[in-house]
Chains A and B, each alone.
Chain A
Amino acid sequence: MFRSVVIGKIVFTLFWYALLILTALGADYILHRLELYWVGRYFGIVGTGLILASLTYSLRKRKVIDVGSPKFLLGMHEGLSWAGALMLIVHAGVHFNALLPWMALWLLLIVVASGFVGRLLLADARAALAGHAASLAEQGLAAPEIDKRLLLDAVAVDAMNRWRSVHMPLTTILGALTLLHIASIVAYSRWP
């Protein structure tokens, strides 16, 4: 029961993650074929803006603001950050010559992955684990026996919990790298 739910969610999560990567590669390919690769430069601004807008949910969750339905803001957070990440991957393209943009892109992918884990996996995994424990309790099993049987599942949920918890710190590090990237562009490049 637990494993079937979690495996189904993992497949679903991987699908969205793969879709993000493939869509970015497809968009990059099309822009190059149409000789519109320069558009990717501006995708950096738009993508960053979308991700900043998606942080409204984070502010609401931490009660920095108190307007907006959390459920609505969460949906907006997911949609805008997915689209923003897509644009930033296209913005990065496949042209890397320095560490900073490389690190920023990989961190972006990790942050997106941690977000997927939190949203799509963890909630259902927790519910499935609780349901399984309740079912075993109804069968008359003692608590130590239930813990023993659910040990592996509990470890899996705990691992996801830890993975989820890095989402926000990694996001702030990504924000710092983005600021450094913008500062270096302003300092050393001609814009626009």
Chain B
Amino acid sequence: MRTEVARAPRVRGLAIAGAVALALLAAPAALGDYHLHMLLSAFIAIMLGFGHRLLLLTGQASYGHGGFYALGAYAVAILTATYSWNPWLALVPAILVPGAVALAIGVPVLRARGPYFFLISFGIAVVVNSLLSNLKGLTGGNAGIMGIPRLPGLETVTDYYFLLCAVVIVGGVAFWLIDRSRWTLELRAIGGSPDLASAIGISRQRNMVLAFVVGAAITGLLGGIFATYMAFVAPTAFSFWISVYILTFSMIGGAAYWSGPIVGATYVTLIPLLFNWSEHLVALFVAISIAVVMLLWPDGIVGQVDRLLARTRRGHGGVPPVRLKAETSAAKISAPVHKGGARLVVSGLNHSYGGIRTANNISFEAAPGEIVGIIGPNGAGKTTLFNLLSGYVRPQGGKIVLDGTEIQTLPPHRIEQLGLTRTFQASMVFDRLTVFENILLGVWGAGEKATIVEKLFRPRTRYERDIAKVEELIESFGLSEFAHTPAGSLPYGIRKLLGLAIGIATEPRVLCLDEPVAGLTDAEIDRMVETLRKVHRERQLTLLIVEHRMPVIMGLCDRVVVMNFGEVVAQGTPEQVQADPVVHEVYFAR
């Protein structure tokens, strides 16, 4: 949705960036070594913030990056001072070693949810520190390593200033591109709703580990450069506080924004300059700042400013709506390739939890293009069934076959890639992303996997074909009015519609809908049912619907499966099921 309105701020932004860059490049002419040193520290801080921000987007934080910084610094120190490597060459291990450590820790620990990773990350900084003190032969122990040569070609503070200025500019641009790329959106999806992200094909594990490793590698590189600059490293220089600072740089500005680390790092490194504080006072200042931000401004400084600006913007007539469309469009939802529905065969599915049989020998089949309704009283096991089908719970017995492929042991994102998508009752959309971004993620779930370079650097606006699909879906679902509104602020009925749209966007061959009309008003139910019918007509996909509204089920479904106590108690056409005495017993019998 490229409108003319977007062009103006773009040009202005570039102009500002250009002016800043020029100012930075001209600085050495005006400033002495002391101030250049301070600016250069700020540059390092900014890059460290950028590196850590990737992980923050996914909803995890690390208090261990100080360890990676130290690893990078010491790698360079040891290789250059003790083994006379060329310092430029030594930067390579400075990147690889922290990356490898992050990989080794990230793979097992990021699998768990909750604060475990955060706790373990503490250990990283601490363990590295203790290693540095202990392996005296290698690291010189507490005395450290001296005489680290400067990078060949760079002698003075001014030279290093230019180096780091270049690093920050290149890094800043790179991260700016990454921020506009597909990968960042996927990371934010994981941070917003990990379950929904898996359901549309985003691998939580792989992406989080990659974010962690990239951050660690960048941190190591900066540590290495820092070592050559200071010419001396010792464990005391890499205390636990460094990890705190790195986390602060990326959080205090606001992790959701590209400019967050810039603001955060500048705030933390340069403001104390104004007051010439002691080391402890600075530490106190940093810590209090982050405490206050977490308490009052969870979106960070930039986030707070953004919110204020948005309020004033709205007061001045607001952002112009792109198009106004209230009704569901009569236009076809066209898709270039109709894969058609898949056959889903479930046989003998078993699952127990805490001594209760949640699934007992469940067997049924959904033919390609069929609409199957799943009904049953509360506690019958319908949600468990969906969780089993979509890979969130592994069955203890039985098979699920999707067009000939067994999927019962696969993780959710793999199942999505094979063509089965499910929706959720709770967390049905990504609240912090716009409607457009939500559906775009779904569309990406349909396509072939992109290459890494593409994923990282290709701006989202360039995915023309995917964007066309998104626009079509938005129009067809009648969401044009809300295209660039954050999904979380939309009314409930619209969010549910969006949830369906995301599911459809993944071009599934089997779509599992979990209570698609729960909580909707009568008018909204009609609209949803009409949309479902249209979608089914166009795409002929196989639909599985868990619902309680009998009129909806009976009117929409080709066949109905009735569950109770974790078992299938009846199957058949709606008429058959309505007349079946067994079903009556389920709902009415004593």
Partners in one complex: no
- The residues of A with any CB-CB pair to B shorter than 8 Å are none
